[in-house]
Amino acid sequence: MRDVNDILGKEKLKTKPQNFSSFRERLHEVIFEANDFAGKAFDVVLILMIFLSIVVLMMESVPAYYAVYKDAFFYLEFAITVFFTIEYALRIYSVYSPKYYITSFFGIIDLLSTLPFYLAFFFPSFQTLMIVRSLRLLRIFRVFKLDAFIDQGNFIMAALKESSKKIMLFSFAMFILITIFGSIMYLVEHDVNENFDSIPRSVYWAVVTITTVGYGDISPVTAFGQFLASVVMLTGYVIIAVPTGIVTANVVQKQSNKKNLTESCPFCLKEGHEKGAKYCNACGHALNE
Amino acid sequence: MRDVNDILGKEKLKTKPQNFSSFRERLHEVIFEANDFAGKAFDVVLILMIFLSIVVLMMESVPAYYAVYKDAFFYLEFAITVFFTIEYALRIYSVYSPKYYITSFFGIIDLLSTLPFYLAFFFPSFQTLMIVRSLRLLRIFRVFKLDAFIDQGNFIMAALKESSKKIMLFSFAMFILITIFGSIMYLVEHDVNENFDSIPRSVYWAVVTITTVGYGDISPVTAFGQFLASVVMLTGYVIIAVPTGIVTANVVQKQSNKKNLTESCPFCLKEGHEKGAKYCNACGHALNE
Amino acid sequence: MRDVNDILGKEKLKTKPQNFSSFRERLHEVIFEANDFAGKAFDVVLILMIFLSIVVLMMESVPAYYAVYKDAFFYLEFAITVFFTIEYALRIYSVYSPKYYITSFFGIIDLLSTLPFYLAFFFPSFQTLMIVRSLRLLRIFRVFKLDAFIDQGNFIMAALKESSKKIMLFSFAMFILITIFGSIMYLVEHDVNENFDSIPRSVYWAVVTITTVGYGDISPVTAFGQFLASVVMLTGYVIIAVPTGIVTANVVQKQSNKKNLTESCPFCLKEGHEKGAKYCNACGHALNE
Amino acid sequence: MRDVNDILGKEKLKTKPQNFSSFRERLHEVIFEANDFAGKAFDVVLILMIFLSIVVLMMESVPAYYAVYKDAFFYLEFAITVFFTIEYALRIYSVYSPKYYITSFFGIIDLLSTLPFYLAFFFPSFQTLMIVRSLRLLRIFRVFKLDAFIDQGNFIMAALKESSKKIMLFSFAMFILITIFGSIMYLVEHDVNENFDSIPRSVYWAVVTITTVGYGDISPVTAFGQFLASVVMLTGYVIIAVPTGIVTANVVQKQSNKKNLTESCPFCLKEGHEKGAKYCNACGHALNE
């Protein structure tokens, strides 16, 4: 079963090559593991740098702050980017399979965390690319090496994975429903309501309505339009039960899978003993290991 | 048990008539089945045409695009409609029971996918009917012949079907609640708030509020009105638990019903035994392994 | 266990008094039961009259319709009220315990369905009371004598009843949360945002926000206010899981209560047999009845 | 297991010191217990005073009321604060461990319930602190000594506690999602839409949208922005299933854990046997009936 460790690209990075110096091995431990103080300290510093870089990214975008602290933001961002660049180089140097790492999900994220700054520096027209730095936040997931969270993550991912086909089918049905509702609403409203001026916009309205978001930037004005809108709202309100029911059922099932359903008492045949039970609780006979 | 295949009208279309030429039989396989390359290719082409036709329908409705590409849209729509017309004719020709097909759900959808274009062509006043083409999207459900999705679809439909009576009762109670809340709100607000100018509009407001959509196009301004609105909101926020609970319980139950549905008792023919059952619980006869 | 029949006041109305004429008995059957054609016809007519009266109530409130059909509405309402008055009188005449009926929930609803019209007729200042007629809709619940819906209703009511204490506690915690959030928001915003002009209005905003309704009639403008609002929204988004979880668990439990958990096989002691099972499905031994 | 009683700080307050006068003991019973009439009466009075103080706090903030009843509000608040001050002093006097009480959660809340009034009285600049009085509402939770609600509270807390790690992980993933969505939306909209004037504001929009609140104070105007917003809405609409599923599964599990928690094996002392178990499943010894 694919789990969070797989997605983090750790599984395939496990095989150590033959001539791997002890320095690179040590570096590997610090950067990719969190078994000792140095490894954990590295993770903490990395998380702090990621958060700092996000704060800088956000503050920079506020006109009032940018006017005053423009230079400070630039030097901070410069320092952060240099730090991430060195980190990226060290990762390539100390990883068991550099090729696999560079093309992996997190390898690309790592590169995207540094590249935009250099591009924007040399080609000012790439300024807008700076927003790509927000993807740095995704790197935090890699740092999560705490066992408890890995387990919880695996649990949620597994439950979602089992629901995925049903959720996809549900999403597809919703897509069709939204398109049809949007088209009908366009027909009903567009003559008297300039907000419903095209089907794509009406479909956008249908999304806003069926998900119960309801901005109010587009809302029906005709009596029949409001009646139709009511139908869309009630549909959205009730069908949320479907994905919720699907996911919940999978979580319930995964969680109740703590009983040894296949094991039966060799004497009285009672099935469904607690995990770790040594004796049958119906007849007292010893259970097979 | 009725399932997706039933709704798709496939069950009743299964009996092949006596004198059915091998050409019609081959056509039948390509159009109605997806067992070989030709059948699957036909489905893929059909899905692409459906999506193309929806894209044209949407783009056509955007004034900016319509002004420029009016002619292109017309010829594209013309080509798509001719394609669907031929497909419709071939379906009637190759289906085992044309009469049943034409009056079936998808037979009508198929007809509605082509008719509006011709009507609008000859009678320009039928222009608004063109929106009916959005129903073409529903045809995609028929094309879903992939087993995995059929199973998932059947599963969700079965869970919803078992919940349907309870959901209907819940919907009816909500309808009454909404009407009463809307009427009271009209009484409270309509003297000072022109947005609550009639009970139907107040009922529309109640729907917008209880489903937690909240456009804000109509909102209470009096203190008592806002208090009442708070009650409606909290009601809507909490009672969503009811349909969710009902659907979830049915999904959980269906999923834990790991029953051997295919196994029947060799003596009394009872079906649906628990997994691992060794004896029929109706007659006590040993079950086959 | 209290059920829908109790709430409908039927249980306590069951004991027939000594000298009860056969005419009154027949009337009782038609009005209070739905066992024969007359009883079912009476119910259908009643439901139609209730819906008609609600339609009149709604149309009357639309200024455009009222201007034109004022008289028609009055005579229709007059006819409906006379019908309900006769029905009310017949109910008192044919019920086993008039005193209990008059003071019961539905007895009061029945009276309120007729009284406002007479009051408004004689005392025009009671005009606003007319809205009370919307409560007539509640009467429909009494007419629901179809077994299937009674069962479903009892099921939902029972599941909700078992959840009621937890839901009450949850609602109370939400009430406290909303008040505190509203008060803090008043402190943060009221100097710069005239919409947060008092704590009650801020509390109203907190309800609109935590229930994810979000009208937008009141929304924060300061950076800190928007941060706080984000906390309120995320709180509302996540804690909906609590009532949903509680209700769902009770529905799941009620639904899985179909196994005879207490019955065990007299030979192999296996427990948890299907309801109606006659033989143990583990050893084939007959079960005790 | 930590429960509501722990949070209320009762467990650690249980050990009575050596020289504790019978008067203090009696006072302790009245204030901290609810076993007799005096204890229950004290709780009722306290709840009434808390509600009264919240009503005063709210009314005071309404300009129209404040203009007229300014003095009445002051004297009422004065009386309430004196009452709470005396109560606070009596609590310190009669509690078994004053030091622990003063630094406990409720000890601090109790202090905060009185302090702001005195501070505002002597230093008018502390006026805004008065809002802290809204925290008084939290004190109501302590008064809930009714067994039924304690049980329900413990049940909900336990279910939430078991879900807490998963909910934290989910919240963290949502935080990252919201930041990335907000940043991208800033890039897409800020050139043409003055409402997306900084990333923090765009992140605020993302929270408003993903939680399906949808004020409409900030909404996308470009076609691509509306498409992205639709993705955010549908994401928020569907992923609500995750926390709901997690909490529901824990509630279901807790509720089906119809375990005999009080029964322990007479031989190995293992607790928590299945209902109906006749033998200990750890050591095989017969259980007492």
Average pLDDT score over chain C: 83
Q: Is the pLDDT of residue A279 over 80?
A: no
Element (H, E) at A259: strand A259-264
The answer, for D257 touching chain B at a CB cutoff of 8 Å, is no
Tokens representing D214 are 């949808």
Over residues D268-276, mean pLDDT: 63
Give me the residue from C170, C200, C215 closest to D62, CB to CB: C200
Residue B31 pLDDT: 85
Residue in chain D closest to A128 (alpha carbons) equals D187
For domain D18-145, the CATH class is mainly alpha
Give the Å distances, CA to CA, from C111 to B119, C83, C86, C184, D280: 56, 12, 11, 46, 63
D47, with CB counted inside 10 A (0-12, 13-18, 19+), is middle
Confidence of residue C44 (pLDDT cuts 50, 70, 90): confident
Q: Is the pLDDT of residue A8 over 60?
A: no
Report the distance separating Cα D175 and Cα D181, nearest Å: 10
Confidence of residue C209 (pLDDT cuts 50, 70, 90): very high
Report the distance separating Cα C280 and Cα C287, nearest Å: 6
**DSSP calls for B21-83:** -HHHHHHHHHHH--SSHHHHHHHHHHHHHHHHHHHHHHHHHSHHHHHHHHHHHHHHHHHHHHH
Q: Is the pLDDT of residue A29 over 90?
A: no
Residue B264 pLDDT: 66
The answer, for A226 touching chain B at a CB cutoff of 8 Å, is yes
Residue D1 pLDDT: 35
Report the distance separating Cα A95 and Cα B193, nearest Å: 68
Residue A76 pLDDT: 93
Tokens representing B28 are 């039948």
Average pLDDT score over chain A: 83
Tens digit of each residue's pLDDT (9 = 90 or more) over A191-215? 899 999 999 999 999 999 999 999 9
Q: Is the pLDDT of residue A156 over 70?
A: yes
Tens digit of each residue's pLDDT (9 = 90 or more) over D11-64? 555 677 777 888 888 888 888 877 788 888 888 898 899 899 999 989 988 999
b (16+ CB within 10 A) / e for A155-166:
bbbbbbebbebb
Tell me the chain D residues in contact with residue B212 when contact means C-beta distances shorter than 8 Å: 212
The answer, for D216 touching chain C at a CB cutoff of 8 Å, is yes
Q: What is the pTM of this model?
A: 0.84
The answer, for D124 touching chain C at a CB cutoff of 8 Å, is no
Residue B84 pLDDT: 92
Mention every residue, 6+ apart, whose C-beta is less than 8 A from residue B213: A209, A212, A213, A214, A233, A236, B207, C213, D214
The answer, for D215 touching chain B at a CB cutoff of 8 Å, is yes
Over residues D58-72, mean pLDDT: 91
The answer, for C257 touching chain B at a CB cutoff of 8 Å, is no
Tens digit of each residue's pLDDT (9 = 90 or more) over C145-193? 555 677 788 888 888 888 888 888 898 889 989 999 999 999 999 989 9
Residue with tokens 């009743």: B12
Q: How much of chain C, in percent, has pLDDT values that exceed 70?
A: 84
Tell me whether residues C245 and D248 touch, CB distance under 8 A.
yes
> Which residue, A208, A205, A207, A210, is CA-closest to A185?
A205
Tell me the chain C residues in contact with residue A282 when contact means C-beta distances shorter than 8 Å: 264, 269-271
Tell me the chain C residues in contact with residue B213 when contact means C-beta distances shorter than 8 Å: 213
Tell me the Cα Rg of chain C: 27
Tell me the chain D residues in contact with residue C229 when contact means C-beta distances shorter than 8 Å: 204, 207-208
Over residues A243-247, mean pLDDT: 92
> Which residue, D88, D58, D56, D48, is CA-closest to D75?
D56
Tell me the chain C residues in contact with residue D159 when contact means C-beta distances shorter than 8 Å: 245
Cβ atoms B217, A222 nearer than 8 A:
no
Residue pairs spanning B and D at CB distance below 8 A: 10
For domain B151-253, the CATH class is mainly alpha
Over residues C17-38, mean pLDDT: 83
Element (H, E) at D263: strand D260-264
Report the distance separating Cα B170 and Cα A15, nearest Å: 58
Residue A130 pLDDT: 76
Residue B52 pLDDT: 92
State the smallest CA–CA distance between residue B94 and chain C in angstroms.
43
Tell me the chain C residues in contact with residue B278 when contact means C-beta distances shorter than 8 Å: 281-284
Q: Is the pLDDT of residue D262 over 60?
A: no
Q: What is the dihedral of CA D228, D234, D238, D243, to 10 degrees?
A: 60
Residue C262 pLDDT: 53
Count the alpha carbons within 13 Å of D124 in the hemisphere toward its beta carbon. 0
Q: Is the pLDDT of residue C236 over 50?
A: yes
Residue C218 pLDDT: 92
Cβ atoms A145, A43 nearer than 8 A:
yes
Tens digit of each residue's pLDDT (9 = 90 or more) over D203-251? 999 999 999 999 998 999 999 999 999 999 999 999 999 999 999 988 8
Report the distance separating Cα B206 and Cα D7, nearest Å: 40
Residue B275 pLDDT: 59
State the smallest CA–CA distance between residue B219 and chain A in angstroms.
11
Cβ atoms C198, C186 nearer than 8 A:
yes
Residue spans of the domains in chain C: they are: 18-145, 151-253
Report the distance separating Cα D72 and Cα D124, nearest Å: 19
Tell me whether residues B233 and C213 touch, CB distance under 8 A.
yes
Residue with tokens 């709100």: B185
Tell me whether residues A271 and C269 touch, CB distance under 8 A.
no
The residues of chain B scoring below 50 in pLDDT are 1-7, 259-261
**Higher pLDDT residue, C191 or D257?**
C191
Tens digit of each residue's pLDDT (9 = 90 or more) over D99-145? 888 888 888 888 888 888 888 888 877 777 778 888 888 888 777 65
Q: Quote ipTM for the complex.
A: 0.81
